[in-house]
Structure 1
Amino acid sequence: MKFLYLLLSVAFPAFANDYDVTWLRINAPPFSMPANSSDSGICDDIVDEIIARTPDLKHDSIHLPQMRLKSYFEQGKNVCVPCLIKRDNHPLVTFSTRTSVYPPMGIVTTAQKQRSITEKHGSPVRLYSLLNDKGLRYGQGAGRKYSPWIEQIKSRVQNNQAVTLNYRGADQASVLGDMLVNERIDFGIDYPFIASYYNRHHDAQLVTLPIANNQENLVFGAIGCAKRADNDFATTFINRINPIIRDHILPGESYRQHQSNWLSEYFNDFSQVYEKHLLTKKPAQHAGSEKRNTN
């Protein structure tokens, strides 16, 4: 028996250890809802489905601010985040197959400042020009990351534009709206559904302006697990759940409808986009525009 256990320990490192998974749910509605909420965020359902389909594993969940994610990945614990932007060759994170498709990010501002921004920086907005405008204040939540294309432009003007950071720990999706409404900043960058969510819950009038050369840049979400965790945890767990995601969760009517409820209004044809980019077994039959009509 000891010999058999030794063989299994060598062949399957995760088997020989206490194979547990801690899900890090970001305090950022509408992605993940607070633990006491009756609503289900964009990324909550996939965690629940994976837990239900892997009863042999130990699962735990904690809610935390986005700015604390990096420290968990650096510590190399058995942690996964259900809602990250999928990136290539990340030094700390191993990603699953795509789990969500989001509309292009845009400039979030108030209805009062919309006209002054578009008159000076165009419509769609020229992001490089806007970020270089020292007469306007840019802000974001601490730890917030954007699509690679936007991050590249931001890095080019990082030293020219002061950035107002909000370190508020709870309800991090509201940090941008709070700074705009309280006039601490003039604009930020995020998904259009972030502005819509804030408007519904705070009786505000935030608007999202399209960014030039970014209107076709869909953003893909995925589960991300700590690459530094012992016993090749990230690869082992991702290899375990990828077939579950591809073959069961993504094609399932429940998950598909849940994503549609949150995101469909930001696409001309969400069903087509979902099939084309997320369903490997059933690609979209007709090619079409993936951006929302902004006219």
Structure 2
Amino acid sequence: MIFSLYSHTLIAKPVEEILWLQSKTPPFHLDADDSQSGLCDNLTEQLISTIKGVKHTRLVLPQKRINKYINEGKNVCFPCAIYKHSANKQFIYSIPTSIYPPFNIITTAAKAPELTTKHGIPINLVSLLTDESFTYGQADARRFSVQINNIIENSLTHSNVSMSWSSDNESGVVMERLKHGSLDYSLDYPFITSYFNKGNQSNIVNLAIAQNKNKLVPIAVGCATNAPNDFASQAIKKINHALKNSILVSEQYKKNQEYWLNEHFEDFNKTYSQHVLNFDSQTNDAPINTADQNKEQR
């Protein structure tokens, strides 16, 4: 009897509500009245409509507040996290939902020749980050892949750094500061540049980074590891079921991803098929090195 009662206490409480976290960071999330869904909006919408018997609540928060919710162990899921093969202290991950191009240096067309003259084509990121003659900037809460984060932490030891503290449209604030000369360069995905160049003709350009030139970035849904009652594992099971059986193969979802990402791949549909639809958890992890694949395509 004692064993039976003890076993009963270990049964996890079923998932009753998922709090979906998002921030005002285009093009990942766009306003509801925009004609095009953001990269993460259509995914969230389809997950909400597909996963039945669960209350779904969207929370629009600054990135720092999002990190707080995740670390405090709320019943939260983040729709567009960088995929990791194994769970960590922040997230348990779904199967990949998309594949993003490598992170790039972002700078102005006027400043790009100075950066490449001193630090090569593609840019040597370590060399650039240690160069005090250029001002690096990013949104304070912005994080990248593990490799890029480590390079920044180990190389950016001087004081010529400028962080943006805005809680809204963090990427847009960085772009404006680049355009007006407050920063010389930043880091982000190349489709961020495409979005803001279309909006205001800011003449921002992308420069490939030598250390990760061929490394694609798999994206997944992440649910908070610290949430009680085995929330993350249970939520991810529901999410994976919806992804495999409905969302990832839906034309609506694929068209949305293609809209934002197509120009940054030689063949987006082929890449999506290989790294998302035919994902193999035993052999794939983040980031994905595509050097051999690119050589074949050339």
Q: Which runs of 5+ in 2 are unaligned?
A: 281-291
2:114 maps to a residue whose letter is S
Residue 21 of structure 1: CA displacement?
0.8
Q: Distance in 1 between matches of 2:194 and 2:114?
A: 21
8 Å contact kept, 2:107–2:186: yes
> Aligned residue for 1:214?
212
Root-mean-square deviation over aligned CA pairs = 2.4
> Aligned residue for 1:277?
275
Q: Deviations over 1:189-208 (max 9, x none)?
A: 11111111111112210000
Residue 84 of structure 1: CA displacement?
1.2
2:213 maps to a residue whose letter is Q
Q: What is the DSSP-based 3-state SS (H/G/I as helix, E as strand, rest coil) of the residue aligned with 2:211?
A: coil
Q: Deviations over 1:147-169 (max 9, x none)?
A: 12211211211323542111112
Map 1:33-72 onto structure 2 (within 5 A): 33-72=30-69
> Aligned residue for 1:289?
294
> Aligned residue for 2:191?
193
Q: Residues 241 and 209 (structure 1 numbering): CA distance in 2 closer, same or farther, change over 3 Å?
A: same
8 Å contact kept, 2:16–2:53: no
* TM-score normalised per structure 2: 0.88
> Aligned residue for 2:225?
227
> Aligned residue for 1:3?
none
Residue 210 of structure 1: CA displacement?
0.5
> Aligned residue for 1:147?
145
Q: Residues 181 and 82 (structure 1 numbering): CA distance in 2 closer, same or farther, change over 3 Å?
A: same
Q: Which runs of 5+ in 1 are unaligned?
A: 1-5
Moved more, 160-169 or 39-48: 160-169
Q: Distance in 1 between matches of 2:297 and 2:47?
A: 31
> Aligned residue for 1:93?
91
Q: Deviations over 1:227-277 (max 9, x none)?
A: 111101011100111121123211222211111111011000111100110
Residue 40 of structure 1: CA displacement?
0.8
Map 1:93-132 onto structure 2 (within 5 A): 93-132=91-130
> Aligned residue for 2:245?
247
Dislocated runs of 4+, deviation >4 Å: 6-12, 290-293
> Aligned residue for 2:182?
184
Greater relative CO, 1 or 2 (CA 8 Å, sep 6+): 2
2:81 maps to a residue whose letter is L
2:78 maps to a residue whose letter is V
8 Å contact kept, 1:273–1:290: no
Q: Distance in 1 between matches of 2:297 and 2:161?
A: 29
Q: Residues 74 and 113 (structure 1 numbering): CA distance in 2 closer, same or farther, change over 3 Å?
A: same
Q: Distance in 1 between matches of 2:13 and 2:198?
A: 45
Residue 67 of structure 1: CA displacement?
2.1
Q: Distance in 1 between matches of 2:297 and 2:268?
A: 10
